[in-house]
Amino acid sequence: MSDQQTTAPVDWRIYPAAALVGAFAGLVGAAFHALLDQADQGRDLLRTLLESAPVPGWLVLMGLGTLVLSAALWLVRRFAPETAGSGIQEVEAILAGARTLRWQRVLPVKFVAGVLAVGSGLVLGREGPTVHMGAALGQLATERLRLDCRQGRSLIAAGAAAGLAAAFNAPLAAIVFVTEELREHFEFSFAALQSVILACCLAVVVSGWFLGQGPSLPMAPVQMAPLSALPLFLVLGVLIGALGVLFNALLLGSVRRFRALREGHAFLTTSALGMALGALVWFAPDAMGGGEGLVESLLQGHQGALFLLMLLAVRVLTTVGSYGAGLPGGIFAPLLALGTIGGAAFHHFVTWLTPGLGLSPEIFAVAAMGALFAATVRAPLTGIILVIELTGANALVLPIILTCLSATFTAEGLGGRPIYSLLLAQGDHPAPSPHRPERRVLAAGLILIALLGLERLTVSAPEDAPTTPLAGMTREDSGAPTAQSSRTTPSGAATPAPAPASVPLVQDQPRFTIQLLTVNSDAGLAAFAQRHGLFGQVRTLKGRHRNKDWYALLLGDYATQAEAEAALAALPAGLRRLKPLVRPLSAGTRLLPVQAPPEPGDGSRTSVRPEPDR
């Protein structure tokens, strides 16, 4: 930093400008987030409605996927080609003075095309578009206030940081990200740093006003890892670091292949991608989407090792395929989901190696989440702070640090480079010579068939799974479990039957249940229960997170986790496809019954019976 930069007078207009940029970045980020949430709910509702449609549901989704992705690609290529991909590498080039920021085009195209691409179910994150749109707001303020280039770059960096803070409700991680990832192009002056901090704070305040406060991916409190277990996190970091290098290579190759396609062939390939997207949303929903819901389910439940490894392979391929298409979307959220899956799978290895250690899978999942980000983006401080802010896992600071450190060293030792540096260099080079797209389309089809086969394999019951009826339940001809009047303990003594699921139930002691699904609206619970013949057997647990109501559909009541896992394995195939999980219930938890759908004309609209006064 030169003396001239250090002693240059500060234009105090930059501070209110940074506050306004942060506030508007929070507003845009909240609107973007809310629309993507609505798109997620819309996909689930559409799948539910199409199950009873006269035409195959997967065929309808394939057609819709083609239309949506083609529209997004047309917007990007017609109006703002720079909005393709994450946008973070674009911001780096702008701060370096290598490119200009056309905010008039970036803001609308990134928003609309981003909603179409990410909301369709592609494995993309919302943070890339919000960072790019935040930077565009910084450029807008610079032009309106006629600030000089140095202060303009500070506002662009502040807007980018505010976009990231609004995306994950993580202001500290956003501040560190600018100083760590953009350090080569960010001017470390007092005014610049204060502008970034101010913008991040205002962005989180505004987005939190609309979406709610608190961690985006909260997890239950976990025990601290003993010091004797810390070497395991170093091993985990080595594995995650190698995965990060592999991921970067695959992602860069995917971008290169798509860039080599001619204009017409690009739309043909995107149409094929849309058809694959629709089929995967129907047959393998866990393989698609940004992954926030998947991360929450993995942090709350226990999945088999085979399922986790297959899901990891599937999501790596769908992530690189989604990003390579050149549509707006980030990779932060997919990376966090991949790390969570890898950490949960590593827990099975630890359990097999040291069964008496007793560490929960959430510890490894959270540590791996930050490690994969650190190995791929090569921003370990951001990865550490981001994971802690996302999950609230303050007790896991040391394991997260060690895993990120080991992963970063491994990625460096294997010759890996930061993903955004690779993408920036790729964009500066001319597109490779065109290749025949037919081979790409055929390869995509073969990969799709393989992924669907893997998904069908993972939803099948394992060979050693119990085949006896559920404890306390019996199977009817419909294939749905039905509650019995009593339950028999291992000693053979009959215990009183649990309260019927048609009345509210308050747990008097810790229990376990099977969580079939979680939705943000109660409208589909009754229809789902009716379709699967579950009335009188399921209850719902209503909660509130980030100013949104959510409803968990719960089946069964079990004294031990082993009973619940045996019951889960014996569920009908149609219910196992939902990827249910075993969920603990603390004493005092109040469960509400799911009410039958109202008869036409009775004026009732809710499917959850209100709680009676106590």
What is the C-alpha to C-alpha distance for residues 55 and 78, in angstroms, rounded to an integer?
34
pLDDT of residue 118: 94
Give which of 475, 473, 476, 477 is closest to 486, Cα–Cα.
473
24/160 same-domain check? yes
Give helix 14-50 / helix 149-168 axis angle, nearest 10°. 40
Q: Quick one: average pLDDT of 253-261?
A: 85
Give which of 572, 511, 496, 575 is closest to 541, Cα–Cα.
511
Pairing state of beta strands 505-506 and 548-558? unpaired
585/442 same-domain check? no
Look at 228-232, 434-438, 442-446 and tell me which has the smallest mean pLDDT: 434-438
Residue 330, beta-bridge partner list: 125
Q: Token pair 């899978």 is at which residue?
A: 361
207/240 same-domain check? no
Q: DSSP assignment of 109-170, as one string? A: HHHHHHHHHHHTT-S-BSHHHHHHHHHHHHHHHHHHHT--HHHHHHHHHHHHHHHHHHHHT-
pLDDT digits (tens, 9 = 90+) for 507-565: 556 778 888 877 655 555 666 676 667 767 777 776 644 445 567 788 888 888 888 88
What is the C-alpha to C-alpha distance for residues 510 and 587, in angstroms, rounded to an integer?
5
Q: Tell me if 317 sits within 8 A of 76, measured CB to CB.
A: no
Residue 483, beta-bridge partner list: 473
Question: Which one has a higher pLDDT value, 438 or 243?
Answer: 243
Give which of 31, 393, 395 is closest to 216, Cα–Cα.
393
Residue 592, H or E segment: strand 590-593
- Burial 526-556, CB ≥16 within 10 A → b, else e: bbbbeebbbbebbbbbeeeebeeebbbbbbb
101/202 same-domain check? yes
What are the strands, taking DSSP E only, across 406-545? 473-475, 481-483, 486-488, 494-496, 505-506, 511-519, 538-545
Reduced 3-state DSSP string for 264-290: HHHHHHHHHHHHHHHHHHHHCHHHCCC
Highest mean pLDDT among 52-56, 347-351, 465-469, 513-517: 347-351
Q: What is the DSSP letter of 607?
A: S
Residue 601 lies in a domain: no
Query: Binning pLDDT at 50, 70 and 90, where does residue 445 land?
Result: low
Question: Which one has a higher pLDDT value, 387 or 460?
Answer: 387
First to last CA, the chain: 67
Three-state DSSP at 386 gives helix
Q: Cα 16 to the chain's mean position, in Å? A: 33
10 Å CB burial of residue 403 (0-12, 13-18, 19+) is buried
Give how far Cα 261 sits from Cα of 5, 69, 403, Å: 45, 16, 39
Structure token pair of residue 17: 């400008």
Three-state DSSP at 171 gives helix
The count of C-alpha atoms lying within 13 angstroms of the C-alpha of 493, restricted to the half-sphere facing its C-beta, is 3
Residue 603 lies in a domain: no
Q: Tell me if 110 sits within 8 A of 87, measured CB to CB.
A: yes
13/160 same-domain check? yes
Residue 465 lies in a domain: no
Look at 172-181, 205-214, 444-453, 529-538 and tell me which has the smallest mean pLDDT: 444-453
Question: For the chain, what's the residue count?
Answer: 614
pLDDT of residue 83: 93
Q: Quick one: average pLDDT of 17-28?
A: 96
Question: Which one has a higher pLDDT value, 7 or 211?
Answer: 211
Highest mean pLDDT among 308-312, 325-329, 567-571, 606-610: 325-329
33/141 same-domain check? yes
Query: Binning pLDDT at 50, 70 and 90, where does residue 50 land?
Result: confident
Q: DSSP assignment of 423-450, as one string? A: HHHHHHSPPPPP--HHHHHHHHHHHHHH
245/100 same-domain check? no
What is the C-alpha to C-alpha distance for residues 10 and 197, in angstroms, rounded to an integer?
16
Q: Total structural domains in the chain?
A: 3
Could you say which of 178, 211, 244 is where a domain stops? 211
pLDDT digits (tens, 9 = 90+) for 79-110: 999 999 888 999 999 988 888 899 999 999 99
Residue 468 lies in a domain: no
Q: Tell me if 177 sits within 8 A of 40, measured CB to CB.
A: no
Q: Quick one: average pLDDT of 68-81?
A: 94
Boundaries of domain holding 562:
473-593
Residue 207 lies in a domain: yes
What is the C-alpha to C-alpha distance for residues 124 and 69, in angstroms, rounded to an integer?
13
453/477 same-domain check? no
Residue 426 lies in a domain: yes
CATH number at residue 553: 3.30.70.1070
Q: Cα 572 to the chain's mean position, in Å? A: 27
What is the C-alpha to C-alpha distance for residues 543 and 590, in angstroms, rounded to an integer?
11
121/203 same-domain check? yes
CATH number at residue 309: 1.10.3080.10
160/309 same-domain check? no
Residue 226 lies in a domain: no
442/503 same-domain check? no
Query: Binning pLDDT at 50, 70 and 90, where does residue 578 land?
Result: low
Which backbone phi and psi does 232 adopt, to 5 degrees?
-65, -35
Residue 602 lies in a domain: no
pLDDT over threshold 70, residue 436: no
34/143 same-domain check? yes
pLDDT of residue 144: 92
- Burial 245-270, CB ≥16 within 10 A → b, else e: bebbebbbebbebbbbbeeebbbbbb
> 11 Cβ partners below 8 Å, 6+ apart?
147, 148, 151
